[in-house]
Chain A
Amino acid sequence: DQQVKQNSPSLSVQEGRISILNCDYTNSMFDYFLWYKKYPAEGPTFLISISSIKDKNEDGRFTVFLNKSAKHLSLHIVPSQPGDSAVYFCAASDRGGGSNYKLTFGKGTLLTVNP
C-alpha cells in the first residue's frame, strides 16, 4: 500500500525551462513533507520541506506547493539546470503520530535536464 506516490518515473526538460515534479499521498495524517535529491552512487540530500500549515515554500530556484485538499504536492525548479539532473524523492511524515522521524518515501522521479 503506497502512501506516497510519484506517478512519473521520469521527466525530461530543456535547460532554462521549468521542471515540475509531482507527488500524491493517501494518508491524511501526514503533516510534513520533504523533497530529497539523489545523484547516482550517492545518498539522498535534503532539498526543501513544507509544513501542512503552509501551501508554499520557496528556496531560491526551488518552490514546493502543497494542496492539502487534493493530497498533492509539487516541486518546481526554475530555471532548470543540467546539474539538477537526478532522482527526486518525495517524503512525508506524521508528526502527530509520535514518530516524527519516520519518513515515508515515494519511488522517485528521474529528472533529466537537457542542455
Chain B
Amino acid sequence: GAGVSQSPSNKVTEKGKDVELRCDPISGHTALYWYRQSLGQGLEFLIYFQGNSAPDKSGLPSDRFSAERTGGSVSTLTIQRTQQEDSAVYLCASSLSSGTRPAEQYFGPGTRLTVT
C-alpha cells in the first residue's frame, strides 16, 4: 500500500517568499504530524491533527507558520515570508489514533526547503 507522500521533495525559495508544503497521509490514518529537522538537529515537533479535534499548534515556531488539513486527509504546511533559518527538512507523519500510547508514526520522505 502507499505510504506517506510529500511534495515537493525539494524547494528552493528566496527570502521573503511564501511556500506551501503538501502531505498525503496513509489512507485511514486519523492522526497527522508535521516535524522539522534542521541541520545537525533532531526532529522538532510542529503541529498535530487528530480527526476533527482542534490541532495542537504548540510547536509552530512563529505566526509565519500555519497548517491545515482538509477533509481529514491531505495537509498543507504554509510558511509566509520565509527566512533563512526556515531552511530544513520538513517531515510529515501519520498514524492511526494515538490511543493510550504513542502510536507508531509513519513518516514521509520529507521536503528539503532551502531559503536563499
CB distance from A87 to the nearest CB of B (A): 10
Which residues of chain B in 53-90 are interfacial with respect to chain A, using CB atoms and an 8 Å cutoff? 56, 59
| Total B residues in contact with A, Cβ cutoff 8 Å | 30
Which residues of chain B in 31-71 are interfacial with respect to chain A, using CB atoms and an 8 Å cutoff? 31, 33, 35, 40-45, 48, 50, 56, 59
Q: How far is the CA of A43 from the CA of B106 in the complex (A)?
A: 8
Who on chain B is nearest to A43 by CB?
Answer: B107
| Total A residues in contact with B, Cβ cutoff 8 Å | 27
Asked if A104 lies at the interface with its beta carbon under 8 angstroms from chain B, I say: yes
Evaluate contact between A32 and B107: CB separation under 8 angstroms. no
Evaluate contact between B109 and A101: CB separation under 8 angstroms. no
Which B residues are closer than 8 A to A by beta carbons? 4, 31, 33, 35, 40-45, 48, 50, 56, 59, 91, 93, 95, 98-110
Which A residues are closer than 8 A to B by beta carbons? 4, 6, 32, 34, 36, 41-46, 49, 51, 89, 91, 93, 95, 99-108
